[in-house]
Amino acid sequence: MVVRLLLLVVGALHIINGLFMLVAPGVWYVMVPGVAMTGAFNAHFIYDIGMSFLASGAMLAMGARSGRDAAVYACAGATWPVLHALIHIKGWMSNGFPAQSNVAMSEVTGVVLIALLGAALAWLRMRGEAR
């Protein structure tokens, strides 16, 4: 029950972030610490990523449903955030860990930890269905 509730929460967070990116890409670009440091504003790119977060969030939320397919949805929803987190980790390895604390906190919590949580929840959901 806790896993299913957390899947809903993580899914909702991704959906909210994706909607923010789609509705107000310029505001999202300047509000999220470190984003402006990655390059010039590109609305199309932010829309693309926003759609990825929407799809991921929807799949994670569907992973909270009952039924045999729920774990598959959870795993599908966890894929994009994990791949996104790997891009950030590779950046740390290439360019060093962010020196600004707000950027570091944004990347660690808002990208890596939430991705790991989604992956762990999907794994627990899959494991629960194997019984």
Q: Outline where DSSP puts E strands in the chain.
A: none
Condensed to tens digits (0 to 9), the pLDDT of residues 3-48 reads: 999 999 999 999 999 999 999 999 999 999 999 998 999 999 999 9
3 state DSSP class of 121: helix
Instruction: Give, in degrees to the nearest 5, the angle at Cα 79 between 77 and 85.
Output: 120
Condensed to tens digits (0 to 9), the pLDDT of residues 31-42 reads: 999 999 989 999
**What whole-number distance in Å separates Cα of residue 75 and Cα of residue 118?**
8
> Residue 78 is encoded by which pair of tokens?
């966890």
The answer, as to whether pTM is greater than 0.95, is no
For the chain, the domains span: 2-130
Find, among 67, 62, 81, the residue nearest to 120 by Cα. Answer: 81
Condensed to tens digits (0 to 9), the pLDDT of residues 80-131 reads: 999 999 999 999 999 999 999 999 999 999 999 999 999 999 999 998 865 5
